[in-house]
Structure formats: structure tokens, C-alpha cells
Structure 1
Amino acid sequence: MGEHAVLHGCPVIACSVGLYCNVWVQRRQDREIQLQLPDLSFQQIYSPYQLTDYVGRMRLAWAHYRAAPSAKSFAPLGTVDPDHLVKCAIGEILHRLPPGNWRGFTLQVQSQIPPGAGFGSSGALAVTLTAALMQWFGLKEADCPLEPLAMSIERYQHGEPSGIDHNTSLLGSVIEGRRNAKGEFNLHTLPAIASNLLPDALRLFNTGTANESTGQVIAATRHRLTGTDNPLLASMRRNTERFGSLLRQTRPMPETFCAVIRDYQADLESLGVVPAAVAKVIRAVEKAGGAAKICGAGALSGDQAGALLVLGATNLPELAHYRQINAPLAVAGLEITRS
């Protein structure tokens, strides 16, 4: 709750989902770096210098976007390379090491998280890649903090991420983020949603990958949330605050949750990030007495908008077209193992 609005100073709440991104690193006998992405049937070998050059270009592209955010300035970051973020992560790590410390390895990535669908797939990938590479190269947290490095990698995917996605993957549970007077993003853990609400009433569905990336959607709609006393932004802030208050209650009423979810969904539709086909399904849920909202950036076109949170009325035939995500909520965050 709070997507889009968080980029304009509003609070945001996110919950971890029991879907996982896994990264393995294994030594090679040479100095080459081999990437294996079996989910995408992709494999490629690079020299370290190819990867440092690649992330160098992405750094310049991001700086240009940051100076003047727009759909046009975001375009150079919107690469279609299947290994884009992996190359960026490795390149960022290599830039923090003297070339004499570079060594070859094979890196394999497998992920259960639907890409481009509001489930934080790039945030999870950024955290997992960073942790694996820091372990591989022996980088200490004091010298190379994991969280800001993961944030820098997320920028190459989203342009201006809020920080909530990768922090939720890192920390797990239910996370609330707020900006202080200095503009710094402060995070703390909230109690999980009331247990009597989770088992029967709350469900996650995947409506399918959006036509546009998160960065493209944000770049195209951010102007609708700017300006002093923006009424849409004020509504988003108010509804996120209401949702946070409910999470702090001992026995929140499902009907009250429904009201807040409906209201924030209306905000997202006013922002223009909910395709008509998805909005039609949401109207059916509401008519049946439930509530639903997209989670994540949404989409500007097409019939798919990624993650859909549904409270009540989850057995409707209209929802049967979407994949239900049968995974626990509020799970633990990053885990590291060695062998």
C-alpha cells in the first residue's frame, strides 16, 4: 500500500511473500565470468572489463535520467537484455575492487518470482546478487554495505525506486517506510496482518506481466502526483495511513480492510495504471462484497497489470483466468548458505 505515492514523500507498506530468488556462485579456473539464467534459457560468458564498461554506461544513463526524469530520459535504462541487472550487479562489485582481486566464476540465477508483475522480482534479485557477490569476493559489510549497493542496482531497473522492494526482500515480514524531514527513508517492521484474516480471506493473484516496466510506468505518470496540495496524492497518503492503523489493531475488521483497499484502488485507477480488463475484474470482486487492488506499478496498456491483492470473494469465475499465488506472507528475508 502506497505504491507510486511513496516517490512523492508518502508512507508505504509492503509484505514479503514466500517466493524466492536463488543465486549460486562457483569458481572457474580462468578470469572469465559465466552467467547462467536457466529460467530464461540464457547463458553467456563475459570478461570483467565488459561488465565494468556496461555498468559504467548504465551509471551515465541513470545520472541523465535523475537530472531530468521523463519517459524519454528513462529509455536508455529500459534495456531488454535478459541479464541486464545481473551484469549491473557484477559490474558494481568489480568497480569496488582492484583488478588484481578479480577472479573468474560461474553465477547461476533461478527465481520463483514473476517478473514485471509487482512482486518485487528485481528487488529480490538485487539483494540476492549483492549478498552472493559480497560473500564470493570477501567484501565486508563495513566496507561495502549491502543495502545501499542493492539500491543502486535497483536504480538500473526502475530509475527512481523507493527502496521498499529490496528492503522487504532483505528484512522480510511487513515493512513500513517513511521519509523524515531530511528526506531520508526510514524503515521499521510492523506486526503481520491479523492471523484470522490471512488463511481464508486474503489472496494474491498474478494478472500477468505488464506491457511496460515499472520504470516506464513511473516515468509516464509521475506528473499526475506533483504540485502543491495534489488531491490524488493526499488521498493516497490518507488511505495508506488508514491501512497502517488497521495493521496495528489487535482485531481489525475485514470490512474496514475492504473499504481501504477499495479506496486505494480507486486512487490507482485515477492515476491511470489499471488496465480496463483488470478494473472490470475488480468491479466483480467489489460487487460480490470483496475488495481488490493491484500491487506494484501497474500498467499503462494491455490487459495485464501484475499482482492483484484480493480480500473476500476469491472464488469468482472472473478470477479463474489469473494464476493464484499460493505462498505464505510475512516470511523471513535474505538467507545465505555456504558449501
Structure 2
Amino acid sequence: MVKVSTPGKIYLVGEHAVVYGEPAIIAAIGKRCYVEARKNEKVIITSQELNKSSSFTVDEVVSFTNDMTDLWDKCYNQKDFSELFSEIKKDPLNYAKIAVGKTLSRIEVKSGVSLSIKSDIPVGAGVGSGAALTVTVVKAVSELYRKKLSYEEVNEIAFEIEKLGHGTPSGGDNSTCCYGGLVWFQKKDPKNTIISLKKDIPYKLENFVLVYTKRPEKTTGELVQLVRELEEYYRNKRVKKIGMLACEMLAVLKNRNSSRMKEIINETQKNLAELGVSTPEIDELVSAVKKNGGGAKLCGAGGGGVVLCYHEDNKKLIKTIKDLGYNPIETELGVDGVRIELS
């Protein structure tokens, strides 16, 4: 038996813009996905959070994964991933099923695996629950069969799986979940820029609080497509601005300039709202935090999910959040990436 865990992530700055080649700063958070893997003739996937278990033959899993990969190609050519997203959403275990299929094919193993999945990471909240799951499954299955994959190889396979869930993702989510810490990420051809910021920013980021507003009605892939369908000039102006804010944030973090960091968080939220991915609930929370001298922005794709809040006075921030009826989630930022818990 092998047990592996992977953290979730939040964007300090850069979501949505990162899809168009702008830089982002992403942090691994202290909420993790855990997978226990055992050898089996079949593929058995059990989710403790969903209270659901399904069993498949290895051929069924590989065939389904190949079908979804072919459908991705078709949707990519049509520039519309609606059909793919619809298929994936039919069963909440489909994402894990694809992760197993991709990994077994990559490590050239014909046998199956029994997976038990447990996660502390809120689903559909903009904190990388899907990316953490893919990285954890890839690492757990490959370790179970003693196929030693490097961080780069695990990340590469996880990105292929993420594409089936999100269409044309940046790769930032899976990279941060895999490597951990704070990550400077930029999507580039032929190879993405992924730089650990542990040397530049060796300290932990404090006085940040996560707030879960509501479960988004749209998936990450659907929200990315919504932004893609905006008028090009309107979209690109805001995307470029978010990229500039990411560059400034790096310098601000190095210099520990908390007042400017707060302003960057608020400016980022303004641009994300103009891209159409905020919600009335998020806007209300952001407004309350700003009114009390803090900074707040949505995380991930938006449309609900988690809001990242900051204030030098942590107690004041928590009171503001609780007064609106939310439960603040205090968590470390910049934690370890994927790791083996038991083997």
C-alpha cells in the first residue's frame, strides 16, 4: 500500500490572465488531498467525501480515457469544450478515472489499482481540488508499481489530465500542487516557466484568510471559456493589467510592503470582476473587507468558491468575515508539494 498527499493552491495574483501567457504567483495551501493506493486486478475508486465507490475493468478505464482524449482533440478544433465538460460531469468519479487511465498508460502497466480518496480541499472553490487530485493519483499509482517518476514527469502527466477537465488550462494549478511553496508561473511555448520563490520569499505569508462563499454553478473550464468569448480588446486590456500586477507583487513580497500588497489584491479583484467572473456574494465580501482597511479577491476561476482576504489586523479581518455570516479558514501558505506519506 502507498499513501500520497498533495496540497491545494491559491492564486495570490494572476488567475485567468495566466491562460493568455501572463505571469502569476501561486501558493500551495495547508489543505491536502490524500490517496491510498493498493494493487488490484480491477480499478476501484472510492471517494470518502462523496461517499461513493465504483469498480471498472482496466480496459474500461483506458478506453474511457482514450475516448475523452479524442473528444478533447475534436473540441479543441471546434474551439468549444462544452461537449467534453458535459461528458466529464456525468460522474463525479470520472476525473479520478481519467487520472488512473493516463497514469497506467504512461507507466505501461496492465494491472489495476484500488484507490481511496480523502480530501480537506473544498471542491469547486478555486483552490485546486482537481489539480491536487490528479497529482496525488499520478504519484500514488506510479509509486505503487515502483515506477519512479520525477516531479517534472508527475507534473507533465497531471497537466494532460487537467486538459481533459478544463480544456486549455494554464498548467499553473498542477505545477503548484506538485512542487509546493510559492511559485512564479508563466505559460510559454514550448515550455512553461515554473520558478520556486523559496529563495526570494523564504518567509511564510501571514494574516491571510480564506472564505468559502458558495459552490460555483460553472466549472473552471466553463468560466475560462466565458472569458475567452469576451470582446478581444476588452478582455486583453484587463488580462495585461493583471499580468503587470503579478510582476509588481513579486517585488512587493520581496520588500514586505504590506500596504501595496493589499492594493494589488484589490486592483486584481477589480479586473477579475470586469472579466465577468465575480458574484454578488464575492462583491459584498470584498467591499466589506476593503471598507475595514483590508484587501480581498476571488481565487481560481471565480463564479463563487473561495475569496482570499488580507488585513494586518487578523482579529479585525476575522470579525468582518464572521459579521457577514461566513466561517474564515485560516491556513498556511507556501507548504510542501506532493509527498509520500507511507510506502
TM-score for both structures, normalised by structure 1? 0.88
The 2-side partners of 1:221 and 1:322 are apart by 28
Cross-structure match for 1:302: none
In structure 2, do the counterparts of structure 1 residues 331 and 62 end up closer, same or farther at CA, with 3 Å as the change threshold? same
The 1-side partners of 2:74 and 2:323 are apart by 41
Cross-structure match for 1:307: 306
In structure 2, do the counterparts of structure 1 residues 133 and 308 end up closer, same or farther at CA, with 3 Å as the change threshold? same
1:80: how far off? 3.2
The 1-side partners of 2:20 and 2:159 are apart by 18
Deviates more, 1:316-325 or 1:37-46: 316-325
2:162 equivalent to 1:154: yes
The 2-side partners of 1:177 and 1:227 are apart by 24
Give the percent of matched residue pairs that are identical in Structure 1 and Structure 2.
26
2:293 equivalent to 1:281: no
Which residue identity lines up with residue 13 of structure 1 in the other structure? I
* SS of alignment partner, residue 230 of structure 2: helix
Tell me, yes or no, if the aligned pair for 1:131 and 1:146 is still in contact at 8 Å: yes
Gaps of 5+ in 2: 1-12
Which residue identity lines up with residue 8 of structure 1 in the other structure? Y
Cross-structure match for 1:268: 272
Cross-structure match for 1:255: 259
Deviates more, 1:57-66 or 1:119-128: 57-66
Which residue identity lines up with residue 165 of structure 1 in the other structure? D
Cross-structure match for 1:223: 229
Give the paired residue count: 324
Which of 37, 40, 64 is residue 54 of structure 1 equivalent to? 64
1:73: how far off? 4.8
Which residue identity lines up with residue 113 of structure 1 in the other structure? I
Cross-structure match for 1:245: 251
1:195: how far off? 5.1
Which residue identity lines up with residue 225 of structure 2 in the other structure? A
* SS of alignment partner, residue 216 of structure 1: helix
2:300 equivalent to 1:293: no
2:117 equivalent to 1:109: yes
Which residue identity lines up with residue 337 of structure 2 in the other structure? G
Which residue identity lines up with residue 248 of structure 1 in the other structure? K
In structure 2, do the counterparts of structure 1 residues 255 and 225 end up closer, same or farther at CA, with 3 Å as the change threshold? farther
Cross-structure match for 1:26: 38
Which of 25, 36, 39 is residue 46 of structure 2 equivalent to? 36
CA deviations on 1:51-95 (whole Å, 9 max, x unpaired) are 011111110121122223336355445423111111101111233
Gaps of 5+ in 1: 300-304
The 1-side partners of 2:16 and 2:88 are apart by 19
1:15: how far off? 0.4
Q: CA RMSD in A?
A: 2.3
* SS of alignment partner, residue 145 of structure 1: helix
Tell me, yes or no, if the aligned pair for 1:194 and 1:247 is still in contact at 8 Å: no
In structure 2, do the counterparts of structure 1 residues 279 and 229 end up closer, same or farther at CA, with 3 Å as the change threshold? closer
The 1-side partners of 2:111 and 2:81 are apart by 38
Tell me, yes or no, if the aligned pair for 1:77 and 1:159 is still in contact at 8 Å: no
In structure 2, do the counterparts of structure 1 residues 196 and 55 end up closer, same or farther at CA, with 3 Å as the change threshold? closer
Cross-structure match for 1:184: 191
2:104 equivalent to 1:94: yes
* SS of alignment partner, residue 251 of structure 2: helix
Which residue identity lines up with residue 167 of structure 1 in the other structure? S
Tell me, yes or no, if the aligned pair for 1:4 and 1:218 is still in contact at 8 Å: yes
Tell me, yes or no, if the aligned pair for 2:31 and 2:121 is still in contact at 8 Å: yes
The 1-side partners of 2:99 and 2:235 are apart by 39
The 1-side partners of 2:235 and 2:96 are apart by 40
The 1-side partners of 2:101 and 2:320 are apart by 47
Equivalent runs, 1:97-176 vs 2, <5 Å? 101-141=109-149, 145-176=153-184
CA deviations on 1:38-58 (whole Å, 9 max, x unpaired) are 110101111111101111111
1:146: how far off? 1.4
2:11 equivalent to 1:3: no
Cross-structure match for 2:9: none
Cross-structure match for 1:80: 90
* SS of alignment partner, residue 169 of structure 2: coil
